[in-house]
Amino acid sequence: MDNCCDMKGFLSFLVLRLINQKNISGEEIRQELLKRRGNRPSPGTIYPVLKVLSEKGLIEEIKDGGREKKYKITRRGVKEVEIANAKFIEMFYDMKEEFRRC
């Protein structure tokens, strides 16, 4: 996740974190983001992110014979989540007092 702080990178970060929590479909990701962020990204936003994460070897499609594709995280993806979490915390940790005031 080279650009974890631009919006596209941030969405990739969120999607990868969700897949790290459980095997999940693109539609389930959209529903989770609706619950967490208050809006549901279009399929045209989510599926390109899934494609890029897959091409980078961070996630892979589960072949379970169902209609809906589900994705699982790879070992490389788990490592990437750990690195991205650390970077996120490092970047925003010093701002915790500012967030408490809002």
> Domain for residue 43, yes or no?
yes
pLDDT reported for residue 84: 87
State the CATH number of the domain containing residue 48. Answer: 1.10.10.10
Q: What is the pLDDT along the chain (102 residues), one digit of tens a residue?
A: 444 444 457 889 899 999 999 999 999 999 999 888 778 888 889 999 999 999 999 999 997 777 788 999 999 999 999 998 888 887 777 765 665 655
Q: Are 71 and 61 in contact (CB under 8 A)?
A: yes
Domain count, the chain: 1
> Domain for residue 1, yes or no?
no
pLDDT reported for residue 96: 59
Give the Å distances, CA to CA, from 56 to 21, 60, 96.
Answer: 19, 10, 32
Report which residue type is found at 92: F
pLDDT reported for residue 78: 96
> Domain for residue 2, yes or no?
no
- Quote the domain boundaries for residue 57: 7-101
Predicted structure pTM score = 0.78
| Cα–Cα dist 47/12, whole Å | 11
pLDDT reported for residue 95: 65
pLDDT reported for residue 6: 43
Which position has the token pair 């969700």? 18
